Structure 1
Amino acid sequence: MESLLYISALIVAVAFAILVFSLVKTLKSANKTLDHVASTMAGLEKQINGITKETEELLQRTNQLADDIKGKTESFNTVFASFKELGDSVGQVNKSLRHVSDTVSEQTVKQSENIAQAVQWGNVVIDLYTKFKQRKQHLNLSKEETK
């Protein structure tokens, strides 16, 4: 029976040695994995720092661009306001011209009979003047022939 105890102790010692050996192997593998994870995390940290720096620079440039656009937009607002005022002025001029045109048209319609008479009298005067010139020219020719 004593020998059975020794054999049991030996089996327990061998099992314990196998367990320790397996545990050491597992821990070494876990250590390698953790080292790999640590190096990956260090690389990732460097990349994140670079991205953060670039993002900050991009944000600053974006803010500068936004400020520039805002300033230019405000400049354009004054230009557009001037164009609006110019458009309003042109509208007023058009309105005035339309009013004058309407007034002239109304007066022309009202005075159309007088205008027609004036044109007739003008034609009569032109005819008389033409006849007078022809007669004068005819008389001048007759005087020259008699000489």
Structure 2
Amino acid sequence: MHNLLYISVAIIAVAFAFLVYYLIKTLISMKKTMDNLGTTVEDLQKQIDGISQESTQLLHKTNRLADDIQQKSDALNSIFSAAKDLGDSLQRLNRSVKRVSDTVSQTADQKSEQVAQAVQWGNAAMDLWQKWKEKKRLRENKKEDKK
């Protein structure tokens, strides 16, 4: 029975040795995994820092671009305002020209009877002058025929 006890203790010792051996192997493997995980986390942190810096730079550039666009937009606003003022001035000028044209037209309508009479007198005078000129020519032709 003593032997059985020694064999049992020996089996327990061997089983404990195997257990310790595989436990050590598992812990070593776990240490390597943890080291790799630590390296990966460090690399990931470096990449995140790089992305963060690039994002910050991009944000600054975007803000500068937005400011530039705002300044140019403000400059264009003054140009559009000047164009509107010019359009308003031209509209007022057109109204003034229309009023002058209407006034001239009304005055011409009022004076048209006088103008018509003047034209009739002018036509009558032209007719008289042409008749006088023709009579003069006929007299001269008669004088020449008599000679």
Please indicate the TM-score interval, normalised by the length of the shorter structure.
0.7 to 0.9
2:72 corresponding residue in structure 1: 72
> Which deviates more from structure 2 when the two are superposed, residues 80-89 or residues 109-118?
109-118
Q: Tell me how far apart the structure 1 counterparts of residues 57 and 129 of structure 2 sit (CA, whole Å).
A: 93
Aligned letter for 1:48? I
Q: Tell me how far apart the structure 1 counterparts of residues 23 and 130 of structure 2 sit (CA, whole Å).
A: 138
Aligned letter for 1:52? S
Aligned letter for 2:53? K
* Distance change in 2, residues 1:89/1:5 (3 Å): same
SS of aligned partner of 1:68? helix
C-alpha distance after superposition, 1:35-71 (max 9, x if no partner): 2122222222222222222222222221112112111
Alpha-carbon offset, residue 86 of structure 1: 0.8
Computed over aligned residues only, the root mean square deviation of the Cα atoms, in angstroms, reads 3.2
Alpha-carbon offset, residue 96 of structure 1: 2.5
Q: Tell me how far apart the structure 2 counterparts of residues 42 and 137 of structure 1 sit (CA, whole Å).
A: 127
* Distance change in 2, residues 1:119/1:38 (3 Å): farther
TM-score by length of 1: 0.74
For residues 78-117 of structure 1, the aligned pairs below 5 Å read 78-108=78-108, 113-117=113-117
1:16 corresponding residue in structure 2: 16
Fraction of identical pairs, as percent: 50
Query: Does 1:37 find its partner at 2:37?
Result: yes
* Distance change in 2, residues 1:53/1:8 (3 Å): same
Query: Does 1:3 find its partner at 2:3?
Result: yes
Q: How many residues align?
A: 146
Query: Does 1:47 find its partner at 2:47?
Result: yes
Alpha-carbon offset, residue 13 of structure 1: 1.6
1:62 corresponding residue in structure 2: 62
Q: Tell me how far apart the structure 2 counterparts of residues 19 and 2 of structure 1 sit (CA, whole Å).
A: 25
Alpha-carbon offset, residue 85 of structure 1: 0.8
C-alpha distance after superposition, 1:97-144 (max 9, x if no partner): 333344444555565555544444444344445556x449848x76xx
Q: Tell me how far apart the structure 2 counterparts of residues 62 and 71 of structure 1 sit (CA, whole Å).
A: 14
Structure 1 alignment gaps of length 5 or more: none
Q: Tell me how far apart the structure 2 counterparts of residues 100 and 122 of structure 1 sit (CA, whole Å).
A: 29
> Which deviates more from structure 2 when the two are superposed, residues 83-92 or residues 108-117?
108-117
Q: Tell me how far apart the structure 1 counterparts of residues 85 and 62 of structure 2 sit (CA, whole Å).
A: 34
